[in-house]
Chains A and B, each alone.
Chain A
Amino acid sequence: MFLHGGPGYNSYSFRRTMGLSLEATTPVVYMDERGSGASERPLSKDYTLQAMAADVEGLRKALGVGKIIPLGHSFGGAVAATYASTFPSHVDLLILADAATNMPAVMGVWMDALKSTQPAAFASEQSSDAGKALAAVDPKTPAP
């Protein structure tokens, strides 16, 4: 099961490129994460990794598959790792491709980079929802 990066991207590009080669050897499922691509945005605005891992689990159940192989690219790696740690009995293998498994640390690095390179834009975004969400991220939060 392919989990795309972003967050906020979609599975299209992988689906139409590397996915075609993968499909020659194994069944592949491409999921658009909640709030991304063709999937809906949740009313609850719950975009936590746990919620996304629960989406993966819901899809696994819907497919009627006992075990899956999450293939997480970039941010999808964080979702895949969260899923593997939450539902280890349903994971056959875990594939992380250029994965950002420690998202809080990654967000911290992004924030530092934004502060230093775009200080005015960073300051102006502090009052926005995105700015508040970024400010709430604790880089010291352990990885899942």
Chain B
Amino acid sequence: MSTLMDVHRTVGRLDRSVARLEEGQKRLEERQTKLETKVELLAVRVDSLWSWRTKIGCGVIAVSAIWTLYQAAALAASTPVLAEQVRHDVVVDGVRIAYWTSQDIKPHRVPSRRPRLQQL
């Protein structure tokens, strides 16, 4: 008799477990449904973002970027390379005058010794 009662209790526990599992499964399915709905909504939003306005905007930005890069490249190509400018000194009336020339200019006469320093 007691064995039959134990079986009944066990069956009852199993039934409750099955019921809980089914309830959990139902909640999971509901959650899945909600998530799927959210994903669909997100997809719709993303799809709406990629509208013709967005495409035009992206096109304008792309063209601007390409144009800017082109201008930068053209500027870099037209800017002269920094020439090697050479400093020289010449003493005029006891004053050392500094001057620079582009590399292809050779001074006719360069002081052979350092000129007398002027009092600063």
Contact = CB atoms under 8 A, between A and B. Distances in A.
A54 B92 contact: yes
Looking at A23, A34, A40, which has the most chain B CB atoms within 10 Å of its CB? Answer: A40
- Among B80, B87, B110, B115, which residue has the most Cβ atoms of chain A within 10 A? B80
B101 interface: yes
A140 interface: no
Interface residues on B, range: 20 to 34
Nearest to A33: B97
Interface string B56-100: 000000000000000000000000101101010011111111111
B120 interface: yes
A40 B95 contact: yes
B117 interface: yes
B104 interface: yes
A91 interface: no
B98 A42 contact: no
Interface of B: 80, 82-83, 85, 87, 90-102, 104-105, 107-110, 115, 117-120
26 contacts: A15-B100, A19-B85, A20-B82, A21-B80, A24-B80, A28-B105, A30-B100, A31-B98, A31-B99, A32-B97, A32-B98, A32-B99, A40-B95, A40-B96, A40-B120, A41-B118, A41-B119, A42-B94, A42-B95, A43-B94, A43-B118, A43-B119, A55-B92, A58-B93, A59-B99, A64-B109
